Structure 1
Amino acid sequence: MSDVSAVTSDPATNGEGTRRSRPAILVVDDEPAVLAAVARDLRRGFGERHRILRAGSGAEALEILRELRTRGDQVALLIADQRMPGMAGTAYLVEARKLFPEARRVLLTAYADTEAAIAAINEVALDFYLLKPWDPPEEQLYPVLEDLLTTWEAGAALEAGGLRVIGHRFSKDSHDLRDFLARNRVPARWLDVERDAEARALLKVTGVADDRLPVALLEDGTVLERPTVLELAERVGGLTVTPAEEHYDLVIVGGGPAGLAAAVYGASEGLRTIMVERQAPGGQAGQSSRIENYLGFPVGLSGSDLARRGTDQARRLGAELLTVRDAVALRVEGAGRIVELSGGATLSASCVLVASGVSYNQMTAPGFPELTGAGVYYGAAMTEARACERQQVVVIGGANSAGQAAVHFAGFANKVTMLVRSTVARSMSHYLIEQLAALPNVEILEGTEAVAVHADAGRLRHLDVRHADGTVAPMEVDACFVFIGAAPRTDWLAGTVARDELGFILAGPVVREHGWPLQRDPALLETSVPGVYVAGDVRARSIKRVASAVGEGSMAVSLMHEYLAGA
């Protein structure tokens, strides 16, 4: 028997006295005793925050989901047994995902079904699989589901934010604001002035003219016309843009995996730690739609989720995170290391970790500079994914970041075309190549490159593609995402820290040949300036992987303790 009646019988009251439904958890199992036991455990662990609905088959569960969607209710978690007559759990989750794509998905399996569960990770973007039985639930069930629900709630909060931004989709200024808010996980709603009637109505009420877009409407009623990212950051809650202290044990420049790892380890080991990030925590990895080869996450995780987890962990342990500030210079004053920031502020430190990462190389072919943010984007630009629904998308590049983006956009776009100068086998992981080959709406054109892009009414319309035989042909496109290598962000260290010919920072024994001033040997990750360390992609000859960046960030903190003990 299904819980269809429960869809309409479990209201909750919010703080304003209006009635609304709690987000639902829907569990499906064909064995009544097992279903009752699962529902009991779920009510005990999550009943205060969520409605627990149940169904005895996949078909009944889909009926419940259709009714929930019709009512506009939220579904946070879908739990399904794999072995069910008529419709297996994986088949049900495929259909359920179409109705509630943002809901977390969990498969209940016996030990003998482990292979099916692992296969479902790719088939239905499974978030987790649980082996039955899970006794006690406090250890085997609740921690897993709590983590999944926390992830869902973080995304739901972003969608329901009181901050509203109105602008044009194909506007660089609008894109920059949207991207900043999304990557910093600031709850906000985006309203396209050309598509959303609500946007036009709000502009009429506020009296803002079209030539003053984008506009941000804050929760306190303030209207910001054409704000910069820094101006918006200073007004929204939850972001720190000015340091709390004058001196720190450790200043970390860059908030990618290496910087976040150093912030976690530095703060946990008692160092007064501050991390400076010019855009948003997560760095380049934070823009990844899916990281599937990071140890300990068998179903993978998004770069955004990795950044959120790392940021929360660092803050909980006492690290200070400074957002929308960029390091512009480094000075040495005796035992002190002074980091100069954009806007004129400075940070004094005993040790500095440079984890500033890399920036995507820019296309210089005709049209690309002018259309950046207006159809041409660098990196995955996850804020644009939903806007690509039923459109033609081009991904330029053939490494893992390009492949991950293509897989993600394939879930929205009619067609995704990858333009690869050589071959994907040269620089892409095997698991990604297999995923791309299985997607019917992804086409990989090897030996090709984009030589120009063309606009109409200020937005991207088509690009010229040179094929392997030298011919050039036009290709219609609605959005183009570029991943053509990256350059280190180290210009601010010129003349202070030794770098190689490409700008990557030298570290370890090699810096003895580049002005190392002490008799002791430099530490493995120490730069040519004692007490200044480097970690992650910005280090010369680094391994460009999330796991290695995290390892270097944590290792750098251990080396700093040795430096401080001998200082």
Structure 2
Amino acid sequence: MGDVDPVLLLATTDETSRDVLGSELRRRYGGDYEVVVCASYEHARAVLEGLRRWGRQVALVIACFGPDDRNGLDFLRRAYSLHPSAKRAVAAIWGDFASTSDVFAAVAHGHAELVLLRPERRRDEEFHGAITDTLDDWHLAQGIGFEAVRMIGEQRDERTHALRDQFGRNHIPVGFHQVGTESANRLLAGLGLKDPELPVLQLAFTNPPTTLVAPTDLEIADAFGLMSPLSPDRVYDVVVVGAGPSGLAAAVYASSEGLSTMVVEQSAVGGQAGTSSLIRNYPGFSRGVSGAHLAFRSFQQAWSFGSEYSFLREVQALGADGELRTVSMSDGSVIRARSVVIATGVDYRRLGVPTLEGLVGRGVFYGAAVAEAPSMAGTEVYVIGGGNSAGQAALHLARYARHVTLLVRGASLAASMSDYLIAQLDATRNVGIRYGTAVLDGREEDGCLAALTLGEQHGGPGGGEEVPAGGLFVLIGSVPRTQWLPVEIERDEAGFVVTGGEGRLPLETSLPGVFAVGDVRAGSIKRVATAVGDGATVIATLHGYLAAHPQTTPTA
């Protein structure tokens, strides 16, 4: 059904709203989507049931709620079970303030993702902007579109999973072809490959197309041609290590204020926030925003101001060259700079269960792994964690999995998760929560995760309850990415970088000219907004440092 247009469905008993919204949808989207308009919710439900039987994709379901239609919210709640991957919107009428509390309560409980105000004029771009943003998020989650990169690999392979995740988070359109399928066989034959080492990548956007067989990250980065070779004589004002929210914010402010800026990122833009399917509490985004979209916009913004990037290269050491700082990378290159901003963030803590560690990428995933959600269709999925990232991951996976169980170490979520996420989890019928529960072991079949053994958080080895599981997503704790730093940089007992204090500038580490921002910093608040605030603040501080340490080495 890949060539059949996705469906936009509008349902309302309000004749005026139906006429206005129906004409707007058909005029703007009728060429790319099949727009279906229903005058009753019984008819709309029957249509959704039929579309599910026929395997048709539904991108967006819109229902109304106002003085002449009081049933739209209940319909949206019920529509979830028929097409859980579809976006859901409630259309309200401007000035109907009496309905506001009901509409916002529906959004808070996850019955709708966004609120649309019914257009009162032609060319209502605010209305259409909300819809196109939502459809963009839907397409990104489905992995539908232009295949700039064609990947042939094994679905449950750790390297293939890592590359799909990297490409998706970097907004690189990738088409995945499972080895052994007709499309994969056809591609391999066209490339003249027989039984190659997997995964195989074809970069369709290069001229001629470039073929990479089981490539390393460095080979992929070089093949993309995004980055010019680094000049050993070039001296940057600042090198930002890490392209999460704090690193990208630092790059935006540094480059916009005239500082020559290099950003180094070993994986994908956005950091852990980039894996979040929907961030609803970031200021300025009332409809919420996916972590990937938020990160990509910041990346483009810094790029437009002149920031340079070095992707898929791991920073291995921080040193000095006279009055300059040096950043040594995995490809052997060295970047020289007058200052360094550490924004490497954190990694999720490992489970430490040998059976499960051997199944990473084959049913066990660290992080939200948005790219893997569609492959969980019809399975039992477990998410470990009690923070916002775990809650967002559970809600996103629930759109595809038969049932999602959130495993929480403590007795409550109140202290670790936002209220709006707790409310949505409670309201989602195929999500359950188990408190005081740990994963003790796992079992595989045909090389993939098949079952988990669950038990009490502090229980000893042996015993436990075995449950079938098609996927396990681990989002517990945090380990700072600081292993590459020299001993001169002070860290706390957990490994987070200590900043500020007597004789230091705000956000400056124990090594002059080296600053730390975001989650890697000791005492930081683990929120996207505060990470962005760190990134903005550090550049104001850094200006003072650069003014006090004028450059004496000429720049090439």
TM-score, L = length of structure 1: 0.82
Partner of 1:5: none
Aligned partner of 1:89 among 72, 79, 88:
72
Contact 1:233 1:324 in 2 (8 A): yes
Specify the SS of the correspondent of 2:151. Answer: strand
Residues in 2 aligned to 1:100 and 1:459: alpha-carbon distance in whole angstroms: 25
> Structure 1 residue 474 and structure 2 residue 466: aligned?
yes
Shift of 1:56: 6.5
Aligned partner of 2:266 among 273, 278, 282:
278
Moved more, 29-38 or 158-167: 29-38
Residues in 1 aligned to 2:344 and 2:262: alpha-carbon distance in whole angstroms: 14
Aligned partner of 1:268 among 253, 256, 259:
256
Partner of 1:297: 285
Aligned partner of 1:311 among 299, 307, 310:
299
CA change 1:274–1:125 in 2 (3 A) is: farther
Residues in 2 aligned to 1:253 and 1:42: alpha-carbon distance in whole angstroms: 44
CA change 1:433–1:160 in 2 (3 A) is: same
Specify the SS of the correspondent of 1:233. Answer: helix
Partner of 1:107: 91
Aligned partner of 1:366 among 346, 351, 354:
354
Matches within 5 A, 1:214-363: 214-219=199-204, 220-236=208-224, 239-240=226-227, 242-243=229-230, 246-363=234-351
Q: 1:422-463 CA distances to partner (integer Å, 9 max, x unpaired)?
A: 323353333333332333333333222222222233222223
Contact 1:253 1:259 in 2 (8 A): yes
Contact 1:358 1:487 in 2 (8 A): yes
Q: How big is the alpha-carbon RMSD for the aligned residues of Structure 1 and Structure 2?
A: 3.6
CA change 1:157–1:173 in 2 (3 A) is: closer
Specify the SS of the correspondent of 1:416. Answer: strand
Shift of 1:221: 4.2
Matches within 5 A, 1:65-464: 79-83=62-66, 88-93=71-76, 98=82, 101-102=85-86, 105=89, 107-109=91-93, 110-122=96-108, 126-131=112-117, 140-141=126-127, 143-145=129-131, 147-148=133-134, 151=137, 159-193=145-179, 196-210=181-195, 212-219=197-204, 220-236=208-224, 239-240=226-227, 242-243=229-230, 246-425=234-413, 426-464=415-453
Moved more, 545-554 or 494-503: 494-503
Contact 2:115 2:287 in 1 (8 A): no
Shift of 1:103: 5.1
Shift of 1:240: 3.8
Residues in 1 aligned to 2:324 and 2:372: alpha-carbon distance in whole angstroms: 43
Contact 1:158 1:186 in 2 (8 A): no
Q: 1:269-311 CA distances to partner (integer Å, 9 max, x unpaired)?
A: 2222221111001101111223232223334322222212222
Partner of 2:553: none
Moved more, 86-95 or 489-498: 86-95
Count of residue pairs the alignment pairs up? 535
AA at the equivalent of 2:317: A
- Work out the percentage of aligned pairs sharing the same amino acid: 39
Q: 1:99-123 CA distances to partner (integer Å, 9 max, x unpaired)?
A: 5945573523332221222123245
Identify the structure with bigger relative contact order (alpha carbons < 8 Å, sequence gap 6+): 2
Residues in 1 aligned to 2:374 and 2:29: alpha-carbon distance in whole angstroms: 32
Residues in 1 aligned to 2:275 and 2:125: alpha-carbon distance in whole angstroms: 32
Residues in 2 aligned to 1:441 and 1:21: alpha-carbon distance in whole angstroms: 29
Partner of 2:496: 504
Shift of 1:76: 6.4
Contact 2:406 2:433 in 1 (8 A): yes
Shift of 1:153: 6.5
Partner of 2:523: 541
Unmatched segments (≥5 aa) in structure 1: 1-19, 513-520
Residues in 1 aligned to 2:242 and 2:324: alpha-carbon distance in whole angstroms: 20
AA at the equivalent of 1:529: L
Shift of 1:526: 0.9
AA at the equivalent of 1:533: F
Shift of 1:211: 5.8
TM-score, L = length of structure 2: 0.84
Unmatched segments (≥5 aa) in structure 2: 550-556
Q: 1:387-416 CA distances to partner (integer Å, 9 max, x unpaired)?
A: 111111122233332222222222221222
Moved more, 337-346 or 130-139: 130-139
Partner of 1:12: none
CA change 1:344–1:396 in 2 (3 A) is: same
AA at the equivalent of 1:452: D
AA at the equivalent of 2:505: A
AA at the equivalent of 1:108: A
Shift of 1:537: 0.6
Residues in 2 aligned to 1:464 and 1:26: alpha-carbon distance in whole angstroms: 42
Contact 2:110 2:428 in 1 (8 A): no
Contact 1:418 1:442 in 2 (8 A): yes
Residues in 2 aligned to 1:454 and 1:47: alpha-carbon distance in whole angstroms: 47
AA at the equivalent of 1:326: E
Matches within 5 A, 1:41-80: 55=37, 57=39, 79-80=62-63
Contact 1:32 1:56 in 2 (8 A): no
Specify the SS of the correspondent of 2:484. Answer: helix
Aligned partner of 1:522 among 504, 508, 513:
504
Contact 2:85 2:399 in 1 (8 A): no
CA change 1:144–1:300 in 2 (3 A) is: closer
Shift of 1:198: 2.1
Contact 1:274 1:319 in 2 (8 A): yes
Contact 2:84 2:398 in 1 (8 A): no
